[in-house]
Amino acid sequence: MSTHSQKPTVIVTRKLPDVIETRMCELFDTRLNLDDEPMNQAALVAAVKSADVLVPTVTDRIDAAILEQAGENLKLIANFGNGVDNIDVNTANDRGITVTNTPGVLTEDTADMTMALILAVPRRLMEGQKAIQNGDWKGWSPTWMLGHRISGKRLGIIGMGRIGQAVARRAKAFGMQIHYHNRRRVANQIEAELEATYWSSLDQMLARMDVISIHCPHTPATYHLLSARRLKLMRSDAYLVNTARGEVIDETALTNMLKSNLLAGAGLDVFEHEPAVNPKLANMDNVVLMPHMGSATLEGRADMGEKVIVNIRACFDGHRPPDRVLPSML
């Protein structure tokens, strides 16, 4: 550890909220990224060589090649974000480096964004806004810009963790019927509260739903979970919403299906090759696209930073960090 008054050296890869950066500077020997330009591989290697703690974000790839260059001081990678698909957790674990994340604090914000998309796509919100911006609105008419009501429709949730359950609670309040597919069935009382129907077969659920919403992490097991074959199981009048990770959907197959009217529409906050978005997708009327804003609230980002600080302090006070991620959890 750095001798500088025995404070751990903490390197932060991106600009974080001022209140968090200030607190980190008070507590640790902190190096900030004031330019907010993503670090390249060389800069990340330099960081892991000299840091006691690296604080990366979900867009920094901390793979085996980078971890192999880590100095013996590096004890903790405190990810600023919930998903850790950007970090090779197995290699970190093998090298005695603890990995933490920031779960829980994004739940309500991501669920709000999901609900916004579930409403926006069937009710054609973006199309309506474009019509006004383009001067195409000629006044109210009984048959113009008709969408679909969501009350009474079936919502199929893929991944019934914290966020999936928060979406289910919102959707139930809007009168939707809740269905879900998960690796394991949730507790009876949660199922009862949400009046949720469990499907052990994802294929069976996909074929029956009006709206599908994705809330599973991106792992090798969930890469292209919604493959071309599975997308074809969905009804042509169904909608797909994704606020989880873009890699869970075969984006090319999805784009082709939307173009061919084999799906009614999609609401996407995440993309397979971020920040690149398939230009065909960007030009479709029946698609609402958001630039990975699911957790983007001032309150949420500040809460994420607080979690990072708690994990760093716990680690260097000799305690087990509360948000440790182990390979077995992935």
By annotation, the residues acting in catalysis are 245, 274, 292
Contact 320, 314 (CB under 8 A): yes
Helices (H), the chain: 18-27, 41-50, 64-67, 89-94, 107-120, 125-133, 162-173, 188-194, 202-206, 228-233, 251-259, 279-282, 298-316
Please choose, from the candidates 110, 30, 42, 37, the residue with its C-alpha nearest in 3D space to the C-alpha of residue 304: 110
Handedness of CA 19, 20, 25, 31 (dihedral sign): negative
The Cα 190–Cα 194 span in angstroms is 6
Please choose, from the candidates 96, 101, 99, 78, the residue with its C-alpha nearest in 3D space to the C-alpha of residue 28: 78
Helix 107-120 crosses helix 162-173 at what angle (to 10 degrees)? 50
**Which letter does DSSP use for residue 247 in this model?**
G
